[in-house]
Amino acid sequence: MSNIAFTETKINGVYIIDTKVYGDYRGYFMETYKEKDFKAAGLDYTFVQDNQSSSRRGVLRGLHFQKTHPQAKLVRVLKGEVFDVAVDLRKGSKTYGQWVGVLLSEDNRKQLMIPRGFAHGFMVVSDHAEFAYKCDDFYHSEDEGGLIYNDSDIAIDWPDVGEIILSEKDLKNPTLAESKIEFLTGGLL
């Protein structure tokens, strides 16, 4: 019996993942990834890089993707709470340009599985958050791509956290219409 439950979202390939938590007076234990359970759910990824970030309330990181080296990501929150978003950029997808968002927190211990061909971003809604993710391809700085977080065509319903804090790079991201980004399975069109 698996300790991991997979729930597909309204966008094909994006899953919310819940893990069974074993807790007692000492704390808790949980499995956050188990290859055979993921493969049994049809999620056959080989993760090659783990990343972690620390951010304060209002920080919005994204919407990011790698242009010719797209990455599948398994994301979760270690401390605090974030609103996590995946935007479908797959050529021919019936949900192209649509998004899925979920609150991930240290309390709900949910994870989000984002396949290749998506832009990804998150906003910190707690005072502080530590965010971790596994990637199935390496990061290539020269291959960065992004979309502006408030693109009206995508219309993400970001939580109201007061001031939104963006990097200089993310402030300059184009809209989806300006970028005309579409992914095939292995990379850009």
Contacts of 64 (CB under 8 A, 6+ apart): 119, 120, 121, 144, 145, 146
Q: Is 133 a catalytic residue?
A: yes
* Closest listed residue to residue 153, CA positions, set 85, 110, 98, 86: 98
Only one residue has tokens 């304060």, namely: 56
Residue of 133, 139, 140, 149 with catalytic role: 133
Residue of 15, 64, 120, 149 with catalytic role: 64
CB atoms near residue 9 (< 10 Å) = 17
Q: Is 120 a catalytic residue?
A: no
* Closest listed residue to residue 53, CA positions, set 16, 78, 20, 29: 78
Catalytic residues: 64, 133
